[in-house]
Each structure stands twice: as structure tokens, then as C-alpha cells.
Amino acid sequence: IMTFMLSNLALGAIITASSFHWFFAWIGLELNTLAIVPILAKQHHPRATESATKYFIIQATASSIIIFSSTFNAWQTGTWDILHLTAYPATILFTLALMMKLGIAPLHFWLPEVMQGTNMLSALIITTWQKLPPMSLLLLTANNMPTTILFLMA
């Protein structure tokens, strides 16, 4: 089962990193989230369950903001292409959702609490592999993002 979940993590990251359509990028992010939750809750301990629940709620919220911002952008521009993120409200919402997914300040308060309830392998996966798909989306859309928000993220 662990091999299946780890392969789903890899598949979700590959789908997100290689997609140029908003819906497929969202599918990859959701696959990543759904694959890591059983890994986080593998320990039969209340802290692990709490950690997995917090992780799921934060990531699901960020994913819903991403699909909302991409829908708003598609409504404004007429295209679902990731490279055409030009609607300003969609850009702001998308950036905030990426900040939430990446655990970047000021939206980082969930990360230490999730890390405390997991084992070392799960914490390593959360802090490294789970950051790759949002970073690939950030790199794809960096040309269209406002520089002040990028400076805030840095």
C-alpha cells in the first residue's frame, strides 16, 4: 500500500508539473493531497490523525481557491491555459493559494503543527516532495504575477 501511495505522489507531481491546462494541474494537486493523507495517518495515534486532518483541510482549501481563481481567469480571458494568467483578482487569489500550499509566511502556521504529529519520513515528504507541484505552478505563472506579491513571498 505504501508503494502505491508513493507512486501516486510521484504521479500527482508529474501531472501538475507537465500540465498547461488549469484543470489537469488541479487534478495533480488533488492527487498529491489524497495520496499523502493515508501516509500521514499511518500511525495509529491521535496526533497523527489530527495532523492528517489539518493537512487535508488546508490543502483542500488552497486547492479550492486555485480552481476558483482558474475558473475566474478562464471566464475573464476565455482560455484555460496556465500561461495566460492575466486577470488581476485571479492572480492574487492564485498567489495566496500557492502561499498556503507551500507554507510560506504569513500563511505558514499550519506547517509546524502538521510536522509535530508526523514521523520523520512523512515530515520529509511534506517539506520536500509536496512542495514541488506548487513550485512548478509558481514558475509557470511567475511572469504574470505582481512583483510586490512575489517580493512578499520571498
How confident is the model over 84-132, as pLDDT tens digits? 888 889 999 999 999 999 998 888 899 999 999 999 999 999 999 999 9
Least confident of 36-40, 123-127, 139-143: 139-143
What is the per-residue pLDDT for 87?
86
Average pLDDT of every residue of the chain: 91
Residue bearing the bigger pLDDT, 124 or 44: 124
On the question of pLDDT at 152 being above 80, the answer is no
Cα(84)–Cα(13) distance, integer angstroms? 21
Backbone angles phi, psi at 92, to 5 degrees: -65, -45
Cα(127)–Cα(142) distance, integer angstroms = 22
| Residue 153 confidence (pLDDT) above 80 | no
Distance of CA 18 to CAs 70, 90, 124, 153, Å? 17, 21, 23, 23
What letter does residue 144 receive in the DSSP assignment? G
Cα separations in angstroms, 87 against 48, 71, 79, 127, 146:
39, 11, 11, 31, 11
pLDDT cut 90: percent of the chain above it: 75
pLDDT for the residue 143: 86
Per-residue model confidence (pLDDT) at position 144: 82
User: For residues 56 and 32, is the Cβ–Cβ distance under 8 A?
Assistant: no
The whole-number pLDDT of residue 150 equals 79
- What is the pLDDT, as a whole number, of residue 2? 87
Residue 147 has pLDDT above 90, yes or no: no
